[in-house]
Structure 1
Amino acid sequence: MKLTKQQRTDLKMKFGGHCAYCGCELGDKWHADHIEAVKRDLEFIPGVGLRTTSEMLRPQNDTLENMNPACVPCNTNKSSMSLEMWRRSIEHYRDVQLLRDSTHARHLHRFGLIEIKSEPVVFFFEKYGASA
């Protein structure tokens, strides 16, 4: 669905102008994320590879109520995952991949410059508006 300028403004302010997921302040470049993915069809183009088409496999999810404001990195990383699948994916990055796959992260960790916390992943929208 193509959002009107007013709908985009209202969506951006859904969580006080912050990304629904990481909580960063949204600037001019941000995405309207489908909470439950619309899943776009894929097509193979010879010499190019797989590309998404504009055809939605779940058009019933293309509603304003199913959208959250998201920064570009969060929306790109979430892709078409459900919130719970994405939460588990982030936990996997932290618990398995970060120190295994990144020599830089291992080095920073050894010097005490980064700390890896085993706290549950809580999205910004889940604590937005809660009293401190």
Structure 2
Amino acid sequence: MKLTKIQRAELKQKFGGHCAYCGELLGDKWHADHLIAVVRDIETGKPSKPENDVIENLVPACTACNHNKRSMSLEAWRDLLAHYRDVQVIRDCSQVRHLVRFGLVKFIQEPIVFYFEKMGIPQAILEAERHG
């Protein structure tokens, strides 16, 4: 959906100008992300779930979070982030393994909580996302 400048400005302030996912303060380059994925057809660009292409389903996201989340559900993305933390980074990066051995990097084994969850997004949106 195409946002007007006013809608975009209002969306950016939905969480005080912060990314809904990581909490980073947003600059000029940020994305309006569908909390519950729209999933667009690669060739036509048309959404396969047009009912999700509404302003109430949009959150402000930094470019890095939006690109990493792609069209995943929140729970699938949460699992992927935990996989990065628990397996992939240490397995795939010898520099990180070395820093861990020296005690310079520590991974916190806590649940992944998105910024919007800390800020109290309406539970109805989360329930709709969980039940697709």
Quickly name the TM-score band, shorter chain normalised.
0.7 to 0.9
Q: Please tell me the residue identity of whatever aligns with 1:105.
A: V
Structure 2 length as normaliser, TM-score?
0.87
Gap regions ≥5 residues in structure 2: 121-132
The answer for the alignment partner of 2:46 in structure 1 is 55
1:73 to 40, 64, 67: 64
Structure 1 length as normaliser, TM-score?
0.87
Pairing 1:26-41 to 2, within 5 Å after superposition: 26-41=26-41
Per-residue displacement from partner, 1:90-121 (whole Å, max 9, x unpaired)? 01111111101111111111122211010000
Query: How many percent of aligned residue pairs carry the same amino acid?
Result: 63
Q: Cα RMSD over matched residues?
A: 1.1
Does structure 1 residue 82 correspond to structure 2 residue 70? no
Q: Paired residues, what number?
A: 120
Per-residue displacement from partner, 1:16-43 (whole Å, max 9, x unpaired)? 0000000000000000000111101124
Distance in 1 (CA, whole Å) between partners of 2:12 and 2:105 is: 31
Gap regions ≥5 residues in structure 1: 44-52
Q: Please tell me the residue identity of whatever aligns with 2:57.
A: N
Distance in 1 (CA, whole Å) between partners of 2:103 and 2:9 is: 41
SS where residue 108 of structure 2 aligns?
A: coil
Distance in 1 (CA, whole Å) between partners of 2:49 and 2:119 is: 28
Distance in 2 (CA, whole Å) between partners of 1:40 and 1:5 is: 23
Q: Name the larger-Rg structure.
A: 1
Q: Please tell me the residue identity of whatever aligns with 1:18.
A: H
Deviates more, 1:66-75 or 1:95-104: 95-104
Structure (1 or 2) with the greater strand fraction: 1
Distance in 2 (CA, whole Å) between partners of 1:56 and 1:126 is: 26
